């Protein structure tokens, strides 16, 4: 559905300049900060489009020593290991919904995370919670990879526990409450035929982070995220020429939230920091996608508060004195 084009020399030059700028402002100690007790890493802010700079949706929340992952899109393992986080360190995976872009990284995380290598090392079960269908998906994934699982148990002596999923179908309400870290799910509106879909709020030590999941404009999210320290919301946009070119572009947009509407939700919730993730910027290859600057500009018509356009590996430290935004390290 998406056609790619070769980047022009001009585009390559621009990318080079941007890359230099990013290098200049990157923080050498930008991997996880051992001293920060509440952090969020946008591991991937992409969509089904196979961009190198935006991997599939995956958001890591580290709170009170718990490593909670929200969605596991394409490339989640590469992004985790870029920050030297072994896959086995993930305590719990939460899924917003079962669209493939949010779950295709699961087999990699499950199976590669079971190995004994430094990047893996899962000892306990693979714990996952998500909307109806999650437990079935995990059961069938395990069946699909039975050859690998049985062979490695026989050949390498790996323990079955590390590749056994403990999957639970969940709905709205408190879905996790351990050692002061609480996760609450909310039903969101991703479209009439795309149900169920969830957003999440993570509370720890008087601070909170909210992740919208994939949703259309959904007013209850604003109350759910009221006063949150960090509110991460998905966003979608396309150039008017593209929308006019074929009907299905509007269909995609109708499953998501426009920048203006994301601004309305942010304005009502008034988080200490707002950020985009899951940047649905549509293109057919000929008509260019809206830029991140376009998204910000349109959001600014309805929201004037703190705003960070999301990017892969951007990290937030949720402190008692505010939210710090940290550029990714190398």
Catalytic residues: 101
Choose which of 79, 99, 122, 313 interacts with Zn ion (CB under 5 A).
99
Identify whether the C-beta of residue 237 lies closer than 8 Å to the C-beta of residue 261.
no
Comparing CB distances to Zn ion, the nearer of 212 and 308 is 212
Residue 56 beta carbon to Zn ion: minimum distance, rounded to whole angstroms: 9
Comparing CB distances to Zn ion, the nearer of 214 and 229 is 214
Footprint of Zn ion on 279-298 (CB under 5 A): none
Beta-bridge partner residues of 39: 62, 317
The DSSP code for 285 is S
- Separation between Cα atoms, residue 107 and residue 145, nearest integer Å: 8
Comparing CB distances to Zn ion, the nearer of 38 and 249 is 249
Select from 8-16, 105-113, 212-220, 282-290 the region that touches Zn ion (CB under 5 A). 212-220
- Separation between Cα atoms, residue 149 and residue 159, nearest integer Å: 10
Identify whether the C-beta of residue 235 lies closer than 8 Å to the C-beta of residue 295.
yes
Comparing CB distances to Zn ion, the nearer of 27 and 254 is 254
Residue 190 beta carbon to Zn ion: minimum distance, rounded to whole angstroms: 6
The per-residue DSSP string of 38-54 comes to EEEEEEE---SS--SSS
Select from 23-31, 97-105, 204-212, 296-304 the region that touches Zn ion (CB under 5 A). 97-105
- Separation between Cα atoms, residue 221 and residue 209, nearest integer Å: 12
- Letters for 11-30 (x = contact with Zn ion by CB under 5 A, - = none) are --------------------
Select from 91-99, 105-113, 199-207, 287-295 the region that touches Zn ion (CB under 5 A). 91-99
Residue 215 beta carbon to Zn ion: minimum distance, rounded to whole angstroms: 9
Footprint of Zn ion on 244-273 (CB under 5 A): none
- Separation between Cα atoms, residue 272 and residue 171, nearest integer Å: 27
Comparing CB distances to Zn ion, the nearer of 101 and 317 is 101
The per-residue DSSP string of 131-189 comes to STTHHHHHHHHHHHTHHHHHHHHHHH---GGGG-EEEEE--SEEEEEETTEEEEEEE--
Select from 156-164, 208-216, 242-250, 320-328 the region that touches Zn ion (CB under 5 A). 208-216
Select from 99-107, 154-162, 297-305, 307-315 the region that touches Zn ion (CB under 5 A). 99-107
Choose which of 101, 203, 229, 261 interacts with Zn ion (CB under 5 A).
101
- Separation between Cα atoms, residue 247 and residue 58, nearest integer Å: 29
- Cβ-based neighbours of 171, under 8 Å, separated by 6 or more: 131, 132, 185, 187, 196, 198
- Give the rounded distance of the alpha carbon of 215 from its chain centre: 13
Comparing CB distances to Zn ion, the nearer of 203 and 214 is 214
Residue of 17, 41, 37 lying closest to 325 (CA atoms): 41
216 binds Zn ion (CB under 5 A): no
Residue 169 beta carbon to Zn ion: minimum distance, rounded to whole angstroms: 18
Residue 214 beta carbon to Zn ion: minimum distance, rounded to whole angstroms: 4
Residue of 207, 279, 239 lying closest to 48 (CA atoms): 279
Choose which of 71, 203, 214, 312 interacts with Zn ion (CB under 5 A).
214
Residue 71 beta carbon to Zn ion: minimum distance, rounded to whole angstroms: 8
3-state secondary structure of 204: strand
Check the CA dihedral 217-221-226-228 and report its sign: negative
Residue 40 beta carbon to Zn ion: minimum distance, rounded to whole angstroms: 18
Residues of this chain that interact with Zn ion (CB under 5 A) are 99, 101, 214
């Amino acid at each position: 559905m998406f056609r790619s084009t070769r980047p022009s020399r001009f585009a390559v030059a621009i990318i080079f300049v941007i890359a230099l700028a990013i290098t200049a402002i990157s923080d050498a100690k930008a991997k996880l900060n051992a001293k920060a007790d509440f952090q969020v890493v946008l591991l991937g802010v992409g969509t089904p489009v196979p961009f190198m700079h935006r991997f599939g949706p995956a958001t890591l929340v580290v709170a009170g020593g718990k490593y909670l992952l929200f969605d596991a899109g394409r490339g989640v393992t590469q992004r985790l290991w870029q920050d030297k986080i072994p896959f086995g360190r993930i305590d719990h995976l939460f899924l917003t919904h079962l669209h493939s872009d949010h779950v295709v990284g699961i087999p990699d995380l499950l199976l590669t995370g079971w190995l004994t290598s430094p990047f893996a090392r899962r000892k306990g079960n693979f714990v996952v919670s998500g909307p109806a269908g999650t437990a079935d998906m995990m059961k069938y994934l395990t069946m699909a990879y039975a050859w690998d699982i049985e062979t490695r148990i026989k050949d390498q002596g790996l323990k079955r526990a590390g590749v056994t999923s403990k999957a639970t179908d969940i709905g709205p309400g408190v879905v996790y409450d351990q050692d002061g870290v609480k996760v609450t799910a909310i039903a969101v509106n991703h479209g009439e035929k795309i149900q169920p879909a969830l957003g999440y709020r993570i509370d720890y030590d008087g601070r909170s982070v909210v992740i919208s999941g994939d949703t259309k404009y959904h007013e209850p999210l604003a109350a759910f995220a009221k006063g949150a320290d960090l509110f991460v919301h998905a966003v979608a946009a396309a150039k008017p020429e593209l929308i006019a070119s074929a009907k299905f572009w509007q269909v995609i947009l109708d499953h998501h939230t426009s920048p203006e509407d994301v601004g309305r939700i942010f304005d009502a919730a008034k988080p200490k920091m707002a950020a985009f993730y899951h940047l649905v910027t549509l293109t057919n290859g000929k008509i260019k996608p809206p830029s991140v600057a376009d998204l910000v500009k349109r959001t600014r018509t309805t929201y004037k508060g703190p705003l960070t356009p999301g990017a892969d590996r951007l990290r937030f430290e949720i402190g008692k004195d505010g939210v710090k935004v940290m550029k990714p390290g190398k």
